[in-house]
Amino acid sequence: MEHVTVIGAGVVGICTALSLAEKGVAVRLVDRAEPGQGASYGNAGVVAPHSIVPNAAPGLWKKLPGWLLSKDGPVRIRPEHALRFIPWGLRALKHSGEAEVRRIAAAMEVLNRDNVALYRRHLAGTGHEGLIQDSMYVYAYRDGAAARLDGLDAEVRQSLGAKMIRLSQGELRELEPDLAPEFEAALAVVEQGRATNPGRVGQVLTEKLVRLGGEVIRADVKGLARAGDGWRVETSAGAFESAKVVVTAGAWSARLLAPLGLKLPLQAERGYHVVFPETEARLRNSVMDTDAKIVASTMEMGLRAAGTAEFGDADAPPDPARAAAVERALRRLVPGIGAGRLETWMGVRPSFPDSLPVIGELPGLKGLYGGFGHSHWGFMMAPKTGAMLADLVTGARVNMDLSAYSAARF
Ligand SMILES: Cc1cc2nc3c(=O)[nH]c(=O)nc-3n(C[C@H](O)[C@H](O)[C@H](O)COP(=O)(O)OP(=O)(O)OC[C@H]3O[C@@H](n4cnc5c(N)ncnc54)[C@H](O)[C@@H]3O)c2cc1C
């Protein structure tokens, strides 16, 4: 096959290009920035086969007003963005019934299944195998009564294979001594994984791609147009033609595709992290504060907490108030952090109203594929998404129903 171009070198694009190169395809990976930046750089590093409960869940509409009104609430809509958010928000609510949650969870599980093993396979032989570690995913509750293994979230996870345990206050303290004592209980999903440096995972896999013959091009993609049976890619570094193109440009993907007549409800759901490089406080697992909705984890660069869903323009400047809210939440979760240096970051999750990505050939656009919209789960879903796209692009048999990920669903 002639060469394939992958636009966007976040972790989804990197894994896609790598899976294509492993099949012997000549691949070009194009990004305007260094590979592995974007949302893929600063996320919470959770790689959990059973992170499969979508964002819109029963009762969401009751919680949302309180979240929006609270200064440190986990959701914010930038005022200038409100009119563009409302139709998307209403669509998201339509997916919040129990039957939808179960349908979507099953489709998420397909993308997450084996994610730890798939990352380990990609990293094998790179000398950086330790970037993915075994971990529990611990959901910590201040109200012990809410930590129920028979609640909908836990029941959905267990119905799709998760092994979960309930930890009493004492057991939680033993597992994570640096957590605030106010947490009365936790639910832990066992046998999950976590990345100790998500940005580094992207860099290492890009280096592997280059070793396999993949080409990495630094250019801003300005547009796409048909060229015979293939596609013409217009970039800041000139134009080139490609037999097939895969768009993995995260939150910017819909913007690239709109001129081709494809209108997709992709929102930029901005998130923030804080890192304390010097703190002595440690976590052994990924830990979610189920009230503040932040996830904290000890990484190579220090203790990181990531969270917040801020709906706004993908390119609007970061809001320091949101990073400060994540910092306050982390200090409530791990009170012994101390006063050391603090780093902050903002990244943009690409989010569809049903919490599922687009994966596959785009409707009416033969030879043009999409792999974007992974929302809160793109780091962990990247290896499977890349493998699926590599199969689709090379015409290999894909033995699964892909309709849940089709762009035609909108
Ligand atoms: C705070 C936070 C915490 C998170 N925690 C987790 C977690 O614990 N686990 C998890 O699995 N997921 C998590 N996520 C989600 C995850 O980070 C994203 O879903 C994932 O990184 C998306 O990857 P991507 O490759 O699609 O997009 P990105 O990483 O954003 O990459 C898109 C790339 O496309 C490039 N690009 C865009 N437009 C163009 C153009 N026109 N020309 C050239 N290049 C272009 C950009 O420069 C960028 O490099 C989190 C996200 C955030 C923000």
CATH of the domain at 401: 3.50.50.60
The reply to whether 47 falls in a domain is no
How would residue 57 be classed by pLDDT, with cut points 50, 70 and 90? confident
149 with 172, same domain? yes
103 within a domain of the structure (yes/no): yes
For residue 286, the cross-strand partners are 137
Count the alpha carbons within 13 Å of 9 in the hemisphere toward its beta carbon: 31
pLDDT in tens, 332-348: 999 999 998 999 999 99
CA of 208 to the centre of ligand 1 (A): 20
At 402 the pLDDT is 96
Q: Whose CA is nearest to atom 41 of ligand 1?
A: 221
**Helix (H) or strand (E) run with residue 141 in it:** strand 132-141
Q: Which residue, of 351, 368, 399, is where some domain finishes?
A: 351
- Beta-bridged to residue 217, according to DSSP, are 30
Q: Is 379 exposed, middle or buried, given 0-12, 13-18 or 19+ CB atoms closer than 10 A?
A: buried
pLDDT band for 192, please (50, 70, 90 cuts).
very high
Same domain, 215 and 243: yes
The pLDDT of residue 106 = 98
CA-only gyration radius of the chain, Å: 20
Answer whether residue 45 is part of any domain: no
The boundaries of the domain holding residue 365 are: 4-40+200-263+355-409
Q: Is the CB of 183 under 6 A from ligand 1?
A: no
Are 372 and 404 within one domain? yes
Pocket test for ligand 1, best of 7, 12, 18, 40 (most atoms within 8 A of CB): 40
- 8 with 150, same domain: the answer is no
Which of 388, 297, 298, 359 lies closest to 114, judged by CA?
388
DSSP 178: T
Our count of domains for the chain comes to 2
Judge if 94 and 110 occupy the same domain. Answer: yes
pLDDT category of residue 105 using cuts at 50, 70 and 90: very high
Q: Which of 329, 351, 373 is the last residue of a domain?
A: 351
Q: What is the pTM of this model?
A: 0.98
Domain assignment present for residue 222? The answer is yes
Average pLDDT score over residue span 154-168: 97
Say if residue 347 is in the same domain as residue 359.
no
Our CA angle for 172, 177, 178, nearest 5°, is: 120
Ligand 1 centroid to 133 CA: how many Å?
A: 21
Residues 286 and 337 in one domain: yes
State in Å: Cα 37 to ligand 1 middle: 7
CA dist 200 and 133 (Å) reads 14
Task: Pick the last residue of a domain from 322, 351, 380.
Answer: 351
Same domain? For 284 and 394 the reply is: no
In a shared domain, residues 191 and 204: no
Give the burial class of 129: count Cβ atoms within 10 A of its Cβ; 0-12 exposed, 13-18 middle, 19 or more buried.
middle
User: Which pLDDT score, from 0 to 100, does residue 354 have?
Assistant: 98
Phi, psi of 60 (to 5 degrees): -55, -45
pLDDT band at 260 (very low <50, low <70, confident <90, very high): very high
pLDDT score, position 1: 57
Per residue in 360-384, pLDDT tens? 999 999 999 999 999 999 999 999 9
Is the CB of 32 inside a 6 Å radius of any atom of ligand 1?
yes
CATH value at residue 341: 3.30.9.10
Same domain, 130 and 240: no
Contact assessment for residue 182 and residue 143, using Cβ atoms and an 8 Å cutoff = no
